[in-house]
Every structure is written in structure tokens, then in C-alpha cells.
Structure 1
Amino acid sequence: MADPVKPADYRSLGCDECACGQALGFDFSMAFQPIVDLQLREVVGYEALCRGVNGESAASVIARVDQSNLYRFDQTCRVKAIELAAKLNLKGYLSINFLPNAVYRPELCIRTTLAAARRHGFPVERIMFEITEVEQVGDSAHLRTIVDYYQRTGFITALDDFGAGYAGLNLLSSFHPDVVKLDRELISNIDQSEVKQIILRHLLAMCDELDILILAEGVEKREELEILLSMGVKRFQGYLFAKPGFECLPEVSWP
């Protein structure tokens, strides 16, 4: 996407305005997918994923987002995720995707999020922002400013889809996230690929040195899980455990 939105395009949106989609021009809802820790054998958090108001796919919602409403969409996602998480009495942390190019000045853009967290009694330290790697960020210094500010504010930060898009090691070197989420392409059929296993082994060693937690997403097969466990991965997300639950917290299937 293009440059971050300019100051005239954003303001601090009210929680009610965001929650009902009034500022955006269309409404949507959220589904939640569990994130599990197999060492602890418990659900440690949930990722909030946008859906249509009747459970339609995320793609059908994203198709209505462009540069003119990118900021409002990003803000509305945050408020809806927090509101629903509080309503569902979500335990652990709440993971929310954010689009770096929608954030111009983090200290201003975060106001609506903080207001929603206060309003619904959801602790800031249990909110994790996932930086989606598939969106190209032209200004790495701007991204570093965002991440630094979010971490100082108390949020957890994660680099999503690691290895899938524009970021890779260059983006990882630009800032220090708390969590790296491995892209599904690396996880898929890793039990059958020595090359993928070698790559993962080195990623694990690197993140261990950097004190970054690894989370494997897109785990669908028991064979994939067994290899990942044998290599030291502890946290997982994927259909093997649960599909996203529309406006609910789905029950986890423990392998």
C-alpha cells in the first residue's frame, strides 16, 4: 500500500462510532481463534479475525477497504475486537492485526484503543498487536517508532506471517518484537521437508538469542505438530486445535 494516511485523514474516533461501523460506512464483526501452549497445555490467547456481520470471509470485508478508509478500518477493528473479547470474558491475551500504513502518529492513533480498553475493562498488557508482514512498509523508521511506542505503552508486539512477504530478516532487524509468528507456508508439510526443518532450526536458535517467542500458525496435521514439538516450538495456532469461532471462543481439540 501507499504512504501512511496524512494527519487530516484521521482523528480520535469514539468507541461507539467504531463499534457500529458508523465512521467506516459498513459494518463487520469478529471471529476468534485460540493460541495454545502445549507445554502448559492451556489456551494462552486468541487472535481476532474480521468477518462479515453474518460470518462472511475476511476477504469479503477487506475488499471494501482502500486508502480512503484504511485508518478508520484499522481503528474499528481494534475497538470491535476489544469489545467482543470483553463480552466473551476472554482470558489470556487478545491478538489484533494492525496495518502499519494506517498509523501516522502512534501516540494519536492509539487513543481509541486505550479508550476502548478502559471502557470495557480489558487490560492493555493483555493486548498483542500483530504487524502483518504481507503489507509493504516503505518507511522502516516509521514502523520502528510505532513498535517502540506500543511496547512502551504496555502492549505485546508480534511479527505476523514471518517469511511470507516483504519483511523477512530486514524487518526483524528494524525492531524487536516480543513474538514471531511463523508463516503457514513454512509450517505446511514441514514433516516432509528437510529444508524447512533446517530453516526452522536456525530461526529458533536466532529467536532464542534475541529473546523472541516463536509461535507456529497454520498447524493442521498431527505430523506437523510432532516435528515442531521435537524442535522445541511450544506455542501453536491452527485448525488442528480449533477453527475460528464467529463471535465466540471455540472449544480446543487437544491432540
Structure 2
Amino acid sequence: MTSALSPSCAGCRTPLGFDITMAFQPILDLDRGHVFAHEALVRGTDGEGAGAVLARVTDDTRFAFDQLCRVRAVELAAALSLPGAVSINFMPNAVYEPAHCLGTTLAAARSTGMALDRIILEVTEGERVADAGHLRRILDTYKRSGLVTAIDDFGAGYSGLNLLAEYQPDIIKLDMNLTRGIDGHRARQAIVAAIVQVCRALSITPIAEGVETAEEMRTLREIGIPLQQGYLFARPRTAALPEIAWPV
């Protein structure tokens, strides 16, 4: 059964028409002093950024692009022996039938020997999904398959707390607009502290994105978020392990 908001089976056969690669940025566990995961960020093979790549994706090629991103991220992560998990953004509007569309991801994990619990699939809050039930079926299917589920850009998109009330992912990644300058912003501190309390009650792991200063890092740790990602620690590096600046 296809979703009204996703491509049909005919869309599965539409070739993407261009190739991609991935850059990786680490997510650090500052309490334990190790790499929790690396986020895979799409790049063009000639060095194009994510925006330029996404601008080439059409409604007809959305499914092929989504599938290739997953496979390329898993294959590169395995080839580079990336420590921790690999976190991959996916397009919920490209998934017409969750179990079927997951097949290439599972096949890539099998062929590379990557454990399923080392694959995090992130749905971005910024992509509008008209059918909330469809999104829940996707996330439920992924979780039952042994994958880790995450909501990216939490606090910036269309669903927010309503989605948490219906479905509890394993991870939420706080949008950088909440974390940026949080050390000098009492309202953001209060909001993030409240989100952390909700996460604890629901057994959800929070991650702070976009951390750029030592002051932001310290404030987020004091609030209760040791898992952090941002330019303070490392910039994304294409098809390679990035160098990490661990805080002293």
C-alpha cells in the first residue's frame, strides 16, 4: 500500500542521475570521553555542499536519493572504521512502505558487517509530513528492526512535543537555534532544561547540535547534555575521519 505523500513504486525505478559522497562530523560523549557517533552529511563528488546537492533532487528522484544516502553512509562508515554509530538523515516523504524501503539499508548493513544498533536514522523536523500516522509507522518499523531512531532539529520544525506524545524515539537532537548562545540566554536555558526532564521521563537521549563555544558546551553539560556536536569539536570531513579537538 503506497502513501499519498510518497512516491509510488514507479518512483523507485527512477535513477538519481548523479553520484554523492558523505562528510562525517563526530558527536562526542563528553562525560565518558569517547565518540558516540558520526553524523553523515551529504556532499557532491566535486565538493558541492548539501544545499547544492539537495537542489538537484526532484520529486521523481527523491526515493533514489534517500536510498543512496543510506547505502553510501553505511559503506563509507564501515570502510573508514568510524568509531561509534553512524547517524543518517532520511526523508520521510521518500518512504512509501516502511518495511520495503528499509531493505537496502539492511542489505548495506549485512554486506559491511555493521551492527544494526550502530545505525541511527534521523528524521528532520524541518520536513513537513502531512500524514503523522505514516511517520509513526516508519519509526516503529525502524525501531522493531533493531535500528536506532532520532528526531533531528528538535524544536525547529512542524511536530515538536506533539510527535513525542505520539512516538518516543531513542534520540532527539536539539536544534542549534536552541543551543546557540545558551550560556547567556535564560529563556533558552529554561526551555532546554525542561526538554531534558521530558527526555529523562521518556528514556530518550538528548544531543546538542551546533555547539561552537566553550561557554555553550559548559552550560549544556550543566543542564544535563553530555552528548554534543559542533564546530567547537570538529568540522565535517568528506570521506575521512575528522580531527577532534577534545575540550581540556
Q: TM-score, normalised by structure 1?
A: 0.93
Inter-partner Cα distance in structure 2 for 1:221 and 1:56:
27
Computed over aligned residues only, the root mean square deviation of the Cα atoms, in angstroms, reads 1.2
Inter-partner Cα distance in structure 1 for 2:15 and 2:115:
25
Percent identity, aligned pairs only?
A: 51
Q: Which of 115, 122, 126 is the equivalent residue of 1:134?
A: 126
1:170-185 equivalences under 5 Å are 170-185=162-177
Verify: 1:34 aligned to 2:26, yes or no: yes
Q: How many residues align?
A: 244
Deviation at 1:188, TM superposition (A): 0.5
Verify: 1:79 aligned to 2:59, yes or no: no
Inter-partner Cα distance in structure 2 for 1:31 and 1:167:
28
Q: Which of 4, 8, 18 is the equivalent residue of 2:6?
A: 4
Verify: 1:163 aligned to 2:155, yes or no: yes
Deviations along 1:84-135, whole A, 9 cap, x unmatched? 1111011211100001110011111011111111111111111000011100
Inter-partner Cα distance in structure 2 for 1:28 and 1:109:
19
Deviation at 1:50, TM superposition (A): 0.3
Q: Secondary structure at the match of 1:43?
A: strand
2:241 maps to 249
Inter-partner Cα distance in structure 2 for 1:42 and 1:190:
24
Inter-partner Cα distance in structure 2 for 1:253 and 1:99:
31
Q: Which amino acid aligns with 1:246?
A: T
Q: TM-score, normalised by structure 2?
A: 0.96
Structure 1 gaps of 5+ residues are 12-21
Structure 2 gaps of 5+ residues are none
Q: Which amino acid aligns with 2:119?
A: I
Inter-partner Cα distance in structure 2 for 1:67 and 1:247:
27
Inter-partner Cα distance in structure 2 for 1:173 and 1:209:
12
Verify: 1:153 aligned to 2:181, yes or no: no
Q: Secondary structure at the match of 2:38?
A: strand
Q: Is the 8 A contact 1:141 1:174 kept in 2?
A: no
1:235 maps to 227
Instruction: Could you list the structure 1 runs, at least 4 aligned residues long, displaced by more than 4 angstroms after superposition.
Output: none
1:58 maps to 50
